[in-house]
Amino acid sequence: MSETLPAEGLLGWSWLLIALPLAGAAVLLLGGRRTDRWGHLLGTATVVASFVVGLLCTFQLAGLDEKSVSVDLFTFISSGDLDIRAGLLYDPLSAAFVLLITGVGSLIHIYSIGYMAHDDGRRRFFAYLNLFVAAMLLLVLGNSFVALYVGWEGVGLASYLLIAFWYTRPAAATAAKKAFIMNRVGDVGLALAIFLMFAQLGTTDYAGVFGEIGTVAGGTVTAIGLLLLLGACGKSGQFPLQAWLPDAMEGPTPVSALIHAATMVTAGVYLIARCSPIYDETPTARTVVLAVGALTLLIGAIAGCAYDDIKKVLAYSTVSQIGYMFLAVGLGPAGYVAGLAHLYAHGFFKAGLFLGAGSVMHAMNDQVDMRRYGGLWKKMPITFATFGLGYLALIGIWPLAGAFTKDAIIEAALDRHDTFGYLLAGIAVLGAGLTAFYMTRLMLMTFFGRPRWEDGVHPHESPVVMTLPMIVLAVGSVASGFLLVSAFPLSDWMAPVFGEPEEAAHVIAPATVLLIVTVVSLLGIALAWLFVGRREIPVTAPVRVSPVTRAARNALYADTVNESLFMRPGQWLTRALVFVDNRGVDGAVNGLAATLGGSSSRLGRAQTGFVRSYALGMLGGAVLVAGALLAVTAG
Amino acid sequence: MTDFPFLLLMIAVPAIGAAVVAALPKGRDLLAKQVSLGISLVVLLLAVLATAAFDVGGDRFQLGMAVPWIPDFGVQFALGVDGIALVMLLLIGVLVPVVVGASWRDELPGGRSMTAYFAWLLLLEAFMVGVFAATDVFLFYVFFEAMLVPMYFIIGSFGGPRRQYAAVKFFLYSLVGGLIMLAAVIGLYVVSNSQLGEGTFAFDALRGLEIDPGVQKLLFLGFFIAFAIKAPLVPFHTWLPDSGSEAPIGGAVLLVGVLDKVGTFGFLRYCLPLFPDASRYFAPFVLVLAVAGILYAALLAMGQSDMKRLVAYTSISHFGFIALGIFAFTTEAGTGAVLYMVNHGIATGLLFLVVGMLIARGGSRQIGDYGGVAAKAPLLAGAFLLAGLASLALPGTNSFVSEFLVLIGSFPTRPVFTILATAGIILAALYILLMYQRTMHGPARGVLLADDVEPPAPAGHGATATLTAPKRSLRVLDLDRRELAIVAPLVALIIVLGVYPQPLLNLIEPAVAATMSDLGGSD
């Protein structure tokens, strides 16, 4: 870690990054209907302004010798030994996230102007979206774990509000609540990690914790690492807390693109990368991160193969791709940058894919069932082209983004030079095949084949305010991998955070890895063609399917497990306790009172005459006392 | 300036105001409301000025006065505040005008006069100020018991259908606790008499006593049981859901927001400094009650179908956090606990008020009678959500700061209890969001569905019988200006104290640190 210096110049104003969208949200929420006409423009302007500030700050940072500056703002909470100051940390890691959040955020705000044009709640939508951007920027810019936690739960609130945006739909309301609750489970882990840091080190800011973590006992560091991981799993939809993310697709599609694909759900990856000084000390916790990532990437990919809802397929794809990122950062120093590069590339292509899906839904009267699509490439050429590029980038066809960033993760796993590393690489390659399968299935069902549209649907290309952001993101999907891995390596930019990149001794040459992954991906494409492409797709899903398909359709029974392990026992327990409290505890106390009082019905029949006179008697006494007091004072 | 009798005035002004309002001729309801609002705003002003006059770095107790009262027993009418009591006075100052405003449209069947209600409110305010400002233990006891009377009548005369049952239950529970405390107060006097040569009830003198550990335990229990009933801690809690749900909304806000805090205030002011050995001895038992209460009451809140009962149970859960913070014996956690008392009064006060506004529209307390309200009343829904988020301690709201301080401060000394308590934040999210979803989200449904029908006639369990819903067109569903004026200050406080709590912490911390050093430096 390089030394952190106080910010000067524009960087001293980097709090504006957060303040601008926050002010936007406040104006739109407090302004009410008066701001309906221009609210979406203000909401977009604040995020674009933040992006500009972020660019300027990052340029200034690039010119500094010590690429880490802090902005001290004010005392947030100070009591006893605890001293939490509100402050920001601008370093290469936070700068990268700032640009991703405000850049992709700007594009999605612009897209939403068109997408939400006919929605009565458009102003409210932009207010929540601005709130999200502010909270997310606080999450990545905060210089302490408490600031991170405030942003962490802040994005959870924004996510809740946006999933429930169409709250009259019960499914949306339930999905929002589920997302918040499952996130809170993770938040408990994050909170306990912070408590443990304070108990051990007396501080919660990054500089203090990372500087002293070496003095903490190994078991405690592992505990901190695992608790942080629990928080990361909740936010990033990783096993065992993955079930909320697909349901979150109930929110408007721009939300799915920004929050549930490009930025918020990658916060877990940010957390682990930010805490690299902690994870460097605990191989045990890193191993668990690896296991979580590998398991989740498979779960997501398998479930993605079976769904017919276009957004759910993309959502499980996100779960799976974040699994790759977890796998990467779990590898330690060799993998941090690979994970972040994939995060960046994923931010482009998955946001682009979601915006494309939104464009399709826009054209199909909000239909999400791919069995009701088909043959759309002719009707929506721009959507098809940009979506297609995102598709190629996601499944990792050279030279698009995924080919560089996904292969870098596989190489990093192989570079462990042990059985576990080979196993992880194998899982990642298998996942690549599955990814190619489910994404090809999605492409075939949506854009190719015979139209299976419902009556009265007349697909059309979306307006330019929507297609323009899709085009920009498609360019990112094509170029970001090459740029970040080869042309201007992210590892150089991140060197002040994670150290200089080392040239590892490869077991298998990168070209060979590329070849293997490409072959496996082509296999996945071919299988998808065999199963989906060459025959007519029924408009209703077949019922008689193999147990494997049934399990995949149920996302490997994650909801079933949650319901039977937590929800139903919880409801049963709650009902039992309500009964106990009404009959048992209250009854026991009443009974005791009755026994002592000698009458079993004193409370039940409420002999108010008795109590009332007692109360009045007390009041009389009090008046007498007051009178006595006055007499004494006067005397 | 510091010789100015702020505290005496803060008791006298509302007490005299109560007498004036009570003396108003029947039917002058509007005048009664105006006088009450004016008086309560004067008390708020006094509280703010008292805070300005308070020297943070100065003596432990300030703005004090002492007049001999019953010289034969060394009883004094002694007032004074430390930072802890001062922030509670500020809370009272804020909540009472809000409650008066919130009760503005309450009506009794048959147009009976409401003047008595406002008189009791002002009398209650006087006694609440007294209980926090007393520095003589006997005087504290007098105010502690006296508070019961106005609250008894507020619940019993102006509450819901089961108000009689609830009021009696409230009274008996409190009375039992009070009598046990009276025995302990007398015990303290006896000890002081034997040690100092003359008996006293002055807090500062009692703090210097060296009480035999066995005696300490008995006296501790005397105070503790009274405070645990008042707070209330599980298993002394069963009176609160009844009182909280049957009381009129204004009464419920003051009951849960301020009155119950006397219990947790008592732990800090009396149990810890006067009986340090016993406090340490009993701390594990108290912590078990506190943490069990956090989880148990949260689960019960999830199971409630009556909104007011639900909010009452959430408060019991929150009181568990406060007790945890106090009995963790660290400055951080204790400071957090005191801030929690203030923040809970604001956040749960707002939650009760908004629930009351919803009930006033639908005439039912049952969650199941509502649905999809957000579409028709976005401001009401927004205030409801914000109050709920503060209740589940979302960062950015005031409650986060206090809950975080309690937990992070308790963790170093009591990790196991803290971990269990932290799990409670999941349950908090559940009980709030379940209620919010069922009432505000989904398709429009239930008693507010029909646009222009009269509110359903109050009938049976769950309906408010005494205070009827205002008979105006339900087309006007969202908050009106009066309601916005009530909600706005609390919303502002939730946000401001959530972002910049340090001024309050600066007031509270020295007093908590002094309490912890009374305890014998186990910090």
Write out chain B's pLDDT in tens, 523 residues: 468 899 999 999 999 999 999 999 877 889 999 999 999 999 999 999 999 999 998 889 999 899 998 888 889 999 999 999 999 999 999 999 999 999 988 777 666 778 899 999 999 999 999 999 999 999 999 999 999 999 999 998 898 888 888 998 898 888 888 989 999 999 999 999 889 888 889 999 998 888 899 899 999 999 999 999 998 998 889 899 999 999 999 999 999 999 999 999 999 999 999 999 999 999 999 999 999 999 999 999 999 999 999 999 999 999 999 999 999 999 999 999 999 999 999 999 999 999 999 998 888 899 999 988 998 899 999 999 999 999 999 999 999 999 999 999 999 999 999 999 999 999 999 999 999 999 999 888 888 765 544 444 443 333 344 444 444 444 458 888 899 999 999 999 999 999 999 999 999 999 999 999 988 744 3
A133, A102 contact by CB (below 8 A): yes
| CB atoms closer than 10 angstroms to residue A533 | 18
A588, A273 contact by CB (below 8 A): no
B296, B235 contact by CB (below 8 A): no
Task: Please indicate whether, in this complex, the C-beta atoms of B407 and A195 are within 8 angstroms of each other.
Answer: yes
All structural domains of chain B with their residue ranges: 6-518
Task: Please indicate whether, in this complex, the C-beta atoms of B437 and A589 are within 8 angstroms of each other.
Answer: no
A588, B237 contact by CB (below 8 A): no
B95, B253 contact by CB (below 8 A): yes
Residue with token string 């939508």: A125
Task: Please indicate whether, in this complex, the C-beta atoms of B148 and A615 are within 8 angstroms of each other.
Answer: yes
Which residues have C-beta within 8 Å of that of residue B163, sequence separation ≥ 6? B155, B156, B157, B246, B247, B466
Query: b/e per residue, B82-121, with b = 16+ CB within 10 A?
Result: bbbbbbbbbbbbbbbbbbbbbbbebebeeeeebbbbbbbb
B139, B130 contact by CB (below 8 A): yes
Q: Tell me the residues of chain A between 171 and 200 that have a Cβ less than 8 Å away from chain B.
A: 172-174, 176-177, 180-181, 184-185, 187-188, 191-192, 194-196, 198-199
Which pLDDT score is estimated for A443? 93
Q: Tell me the residues of chain A between 129 and 168 that have a Cβ less than 8 Å away from chain B.
A: 146, 149-150, 152-154, 157, 160, 164, 167-168
Give the span between the Cα atoms of A349 and A386, in whole angstroms. Answer: 9
Does any domain span residue A612? Answer: yes
Task: Please indicate whether, in this complex, the C-beta atoms of A82 and B149 are within 8 angstroms of each other.
Answer: no
Does any domain span residue A625? Answer: yes
Q: Helix, strand, coil shares of chain B as percentages rounded to 5?
A: 70, 5, 25
| CB atoms closer than 10 angstroms to residue A632 | 14
| Nearest chain B residue (CA) to A194 | B408
Torsion of CA A40, A45, A48, A49, to 10 degrees: -150
Task: Please indicate whether, in this complex, the C-beta atoms of A615 and B171 are within 8 angstroms of each other.
Answer: yes
Residue B335 φ then ψ, to 5°: -60, -45
Task: Please indicate whether, in this complex, the C-beta atoms of B429 and A195 are within 8 angstroms of each other.
Answer: no
Residue A69 φ then ψ, to 5°: -125, 150
Q: Residue B158's closest CA among B191, B201, B121, B125? A: B121
Give the C-alpha distances (Å, rounded to integers) separating A505 from A335, A423, A514, B230, B403: 14, 18, 17, 70, 50
Does any domain span residue A248? Answer: no
* Distance of alpha carbon B200 from the chain centroid: 29
Task: Please indicate whether, in this complex, the C-beta atoms of A603 and B437 are within 8 angstroms of each other.
Answer: no
Does any domain span residue A187? Answer: no
ipTM over 0.95: no
Residue with token string 């997408």: A115
Does any domain span residue A617? Answer: yes
Residue with token string 């645990």: B228
Task: Please indicate whether, in this complex, the C-beta atoms of A153 and B509 are within 8 angstroms of each other.
Answer: no
Give the span between the Cα atoms of A463 and A466, in whole angstroms. Answer: 6
Task: Please indicate whether, in this complex, the C-beta atoms of A593 and B142 are within 8 angstroms of each other.
Answer: no
Give the span between the Cα atoms of B230 and B128, in whole angstroms. Answer: 13
Of A75, A195, A622, the CB nearest to B502: A75
Question: Is pTM beyond 0.90 here?
Answer: yes
Distance to chain A for B519, nearest Cα, Å: 16
Is the CB of A540 inside 8 Å of chain B's CB atoms? no
Q: Which domain holds residue A631?
A: 605-635
Task: Please indicate whether, in this complex, the C-beta atoms of B300 and A585 are within 8 angstroms of each other.
Answer: no
Residue B66 φ then ψ, to 5°: -150, 130
Q: Is the bond preceding residue B501 a cis peptide, omega within 30 degrees?
A: no
Q: Residue B252's closest CA among B115, B386, B104, B356? A: B356
Give the C-alpha distances (Å, rounded to integers) separating A335 from A273, A344, A412: 9, 14, 6
Q: How many CB pairs under 8 A join A and B?
A: 188
Q: Would strands A82-90 and A5-6 be described as parallel, antiparallel, or unpaired?
A: unpaired
Q: Tell me the residues of chain B between 104 and 163 that have a Cβ less than 8 Å away from chain A.
A: 142, 145-146, 148-149, 152-153, 156
Does any domain span residue A585? Answer: no
Give the C-alpha distances (Å, rounded to integers) separating B24 from A346, B98, B114, B155, B254: 72, 22, 11, 22, 24
Give the span between the Cα atoms of B222 and B229, in whole angstroms. Answer: 11
Does any domain span residue A6? Answer: no
Mind listing the pLDDT tens digit for each residue in A464-506?
Answer: 999 999 999 999 999 998 888 888 888 888 888 888 877 777 7
User: How many DSSP H helices and E strands does chain B contain?
Assistant: 22, 2
Residue with token string 């170093």: B412
Q: Tell me the residues of chain B between 368 and 387 that have a Cβ less than 8 Å away from chain A.
A: 372, 374-375, 382
For chain A, what is the domain count? 1
Residue with token string 């308070």: B54
| Nearest chain B residue (CA) to A605 | B165
Testing the interface with B: which of A76, A77, A603 to mutate, by most B Cβ within 10 A? A77
Is the CB of B246 inside 8 Å of chain A's CB atoms? no
A574, B300 contact by CB (below 8 A): yes
Does any domain span residue A40? Answer: no
A270, A97 contact by CB (below 8 A): yes
Helix (H) or strand (E) holding A90: strand A82-90
Is the CB of B69 inside 8 Å of chain A's CB atoms? yes
A88, A70 contact by CB (below 8 A): yes
Mind listing the pLDDT tens digit for each residue in B419-468?
Answer: 999 999 999 999 999 999 999 998 888 887 655 444 444 433 333 444 44
Mind listing the pLDDT tens digit for each residue in A578-622?
Answer: 888 887 666 666 665 555 544 434 444 444 555 666 666 666 665
